[in-house]
Amino acid sequence: MAWTTCDLYDQFETEAQVPDVVLRDYGGRIAFSGRIATLKCFEDNGRLRALSRTPGDGRVLVIDGGGSLRYALLGDMIGADLVKNGWVGAVIFGCVRDVEPLKGLDLGVKALASTPRKAARRDEGQIDQPLAFGGVIWRPGDVLYADADGVLTLTPDLAVGAG
């Protein structure tokens, strides 16, 4: 890894977007980066389950769960599907479950919190739409960088000169 989020922020201070919410690490991979794919779903992970079974192509899935702390959107089974299908990470404005098994996956996972309560599967939600949470506009195709210091995003043209 030739970059850190701190160095990228210093390099692109006025252009980088950094969320103003605290996201904790839950996956086995702490540092990860990739183009963003988005999903908006509230207390329902049916679309996430389906999306986890599609080719990730090294992307990072950004999930707007509305900040809900009531139900977990991602657990070990969906996490394993993400790894199997080439996703490098997930950033979740919501909760995860199966914390110990998630640590064993080669997947970056950042989320607000954990809970044992699983989400419903009503297959509701929107895929690949710009999202707004934590003071950031998360756009499909932008590049997300995450490490122990946090998360930041850059437009694709800036990401070419990153690091």
Summarised one tens digit per residue, pLDDT across range 1-52 is 689 999 999 999 999 999 999 999 999 999 999 999 999 999 999 999 999 9
The Cα-based distances of 151 to 4, 44, 138 in angstroms read 10, 24, 12
Structure pTM?
0.96
Q: Across residues 93-119, what is the average pLDDT?
A: 98
- Token pair 């599907």 in the structure block, residue: 81
Of the pLDDT bands very low, low, confident and very high (cuts 50, 70, 90), residue 150 is very high
Q: Is pLDDT at 144 greater than 80 in this prediction?
A: yes
The share of the chain scoring above pLDDT 70, in percent, equals: 99
Which pLDDT score is estimated for 124?
Answer: 87
Which residues lie below 8 Å from residue 79, measured CB to CB, with a gap of 6+?
27, 52, 90, 98, 101, 102, 105, 107, 109
CATH number given to 22-149 = 3.50.30.40
List the domain boundaries for the chain. Answer: 22-149
Q: Is pLDDT at 161 greater than 90 in this prediction?
A: no
